Structure 1
Amino acid sequence: MSESALRVLYEDEHLLAVDKPADLLMHPSWLDRAETDTLAGRVKTYWAGAKVHTIHRLDRPTSGVVLIARTDAVARALADAFRDHKVDKTYWAIARGFTEHRFDCDHPLKEELDAIADAQASPDKAAQPARTRFRRLGISTLDAPVSRYPQARFSLLECRPQTGRKHQIRRHLKHLRHPILGDTRYGDRHQNRWAREHLPFDSLMLRAVQLGFEHPITGMYTVISSGLSPQWQAVLANLGWAGLGMVSEPGIQTALPYRHKETL
């Protein structure tokens, strides 16, 4: 598969689900004006120039499931579902240290303003409610010192954001002192330096592994999974998690009459 190829997870006449690689921009950005390769551009090429309606965003270093709508009406319906918290989002993250088995973070997050896009926004806006639910899937210890610690310790986490604040999972795990491996903005530089030397990775270890939502046309509850990328599989193998079960295989998994429920 070429670097500019599109990994399609699901497609019908109304929407498209793709697996965004880590370090690929969603759209052209002032942050990197020289970068011409974007997810939106790849989809436009795939659709032979047709209009692209991206519904939601993943941070540049985050990989995983992204939904694209074919029409304005489908885009509005899916955007409303995201806004009304009717999309069940599941991420996997590798964090520093040993976390609890199950825990929530309700730490409010102050809006992070974009220097250009949010130039007119008030910097004094109050912190907004934010909630993320976490479940620990595994722990790993490697006998190699990191900074002042004699061993390297990691937790594999399932993360379910209940709100949609910017960088929410990354900021919540930083707040809890369990930053994500490879996070150059909110992470631990000692851990990141150690990981680059000892593990086969070169990006943020945060992946959108699954989305569950009501299909805006059929009304069926649809679950789409990204599976694990080769890099994720390699890192998990190095940390002793090679046999750990994935959420589900890539692609569309379930189609049931829609009934939204709060995730556990």
Structure 2
Amino acid sequence: MQDTYICLMEVEIIFEDETILIVNKPNNVLIHKSYYARNIKDETLLELVYKQTGLNLYPVHRLDRKTSGVLVLAKQKEQVAIFQALFNTNEIQKTYLGIVRGFVAEPTLINSPVKNPDTQVYKEAETYCKPLQIVQLNIPVHPYETSRYSLVELKPSSGRMHQLRIHMNKMSHPIVGDYKYGDRFHNRMFENEFNCHNLFLHAVSLSFKHPLTEKQLNIKARIPEDWTYLFSKFEWKVDI
């Protein structure tokens, strides 16, 4: 008797060929079970995609549970290393969007080591941050009478765990919705005023030459609905 699965969350598939499947990962979804998230019982991305496609897939890289956006999955386990090599040699251009506290005045290259949670060893990490839009709201957030935010483009040239979140915190521009490295007063304001509870970090695009077909791929993941809602509230016009 064939098993019947009900997929409660539809995962957007952006690209597929014989070797890979590229998806737009939703917020608050683990890619797979892990020691660090052992208390989370929700279905993982791999489980959701399996129910949707019937494919057993293997992640080529990672995104935090609370980060949304472009994610590459390999169809064969032995092909994972082929695609991972592109990340390890910086042959893939990764672009993220973030909504952060305060006004980011100018493009900045952040070069600051990030600690590996397993080994406790710091490793070199580099992120390019470019401001795109700003907004000042007449909503008080402790200790100020107004609140300021920036939409930024982030391009990491390394792939350390929580790198972007740590780097933006070090710039004193923490990402909105980040309860580990962020500002609880601003996070609470977004929840109370806009009913927004997610981390505002989205992997918006990946660009790379396919190592097997040699075709250039420029993959974009549309932004989640809570982002479009805020863009309309803040009157931000961004070509994504």
TM-score normalized with structure 2 length: 0.92
Q: 2:136 aligns with which of 137, 141, 162?
A: 141
For residues 35-114 of structure 1, what are the structure 2 equivalents within 5 Å?
Answer: 35-48=41-54, 50-113=55-118
Separation (CA, whole Å) in 2 of partners of 1:97 and 1:202: 19
The percentage of aligned residue pairs carrying the same residue is: 32
The question of 1:162 aligning with 2:167 is answered: no
Unaligned runs of 5+ in 2: 1-6
User: Given that residues 11 and 26 in structure 2 are in contact (C-alpha distance below 8 angstroms), is that contact kept between their aligned partners in structure 1?
Assistant: no
Match of 2:169 in 1: 174
- The separation in 1 between residues aligned to 2:222 and 2:195, in whole angstroms, is 18
Count of aligned pairs between the two proteins:
233
Q: SS in structure 2 opposite 1:224?
A: strand
What is the root-mean-square deviation of aligned Cα atoms in Å? 1.5
Of 24, 36, 42 in structure 1, the residue corresponding to residue 29 of structure 2 is: 24
Q: Which residue of 2 aligns with 1:128?
A: 123
1:34 Cα deviation (Å)?
5.1
Query: How far did residue 231 of structure 1 move?
Result: 1.2
Letter in 2 for 1:178: H
TM normalised by structure 1 equals: 0.84
Whole-angstrom CA distance in 2 between matches of 1:217 and 1:43: 23
The amino acid across from 1:189 in the alignment is R
Whole-angstrom distance in 1 between the partners of 2:38 and 2:123: 28
Mapped pair 1:150 → 2:145: yes
Note the C-alpha offset of 1:38.
0.6
Q: Which runs of 5+ in 1 are unaligned?
A: 114-120, 247-264
Contact 1:91 1:207 in 2 (8 A): yes
Contact map agreement 1:23 1:62 (CA 8 A) in 2: yes
The 8 Å contact of residues 199 and 238 in structure 1, kept in 2 or not, is answered as no
Q: Is the 8 A contact 2:46 2:56 kept in 1?
A: no
- Compare 175-184 and 197-206 and name the one that shifted more: 197-206
1:202 Cα deviation from its structure 2 partner:
1.4
1:143 alignment partner AA: N
CA displacement at 1:36 relative to structure 2: 4.1
Name 1:239's counterpart in structure 2: 234
Question: Which amino acid letter does the alignment assign opposite residue 130 of structure 1?
Answer: A
Contact 2:98 2:153 in 1 (8 A): yes
Name the residue aligned to 1:260: none
Distance 1:34 1:177, change over 3 A: closer
Moved more, 99-108 or 135-144: 99-108
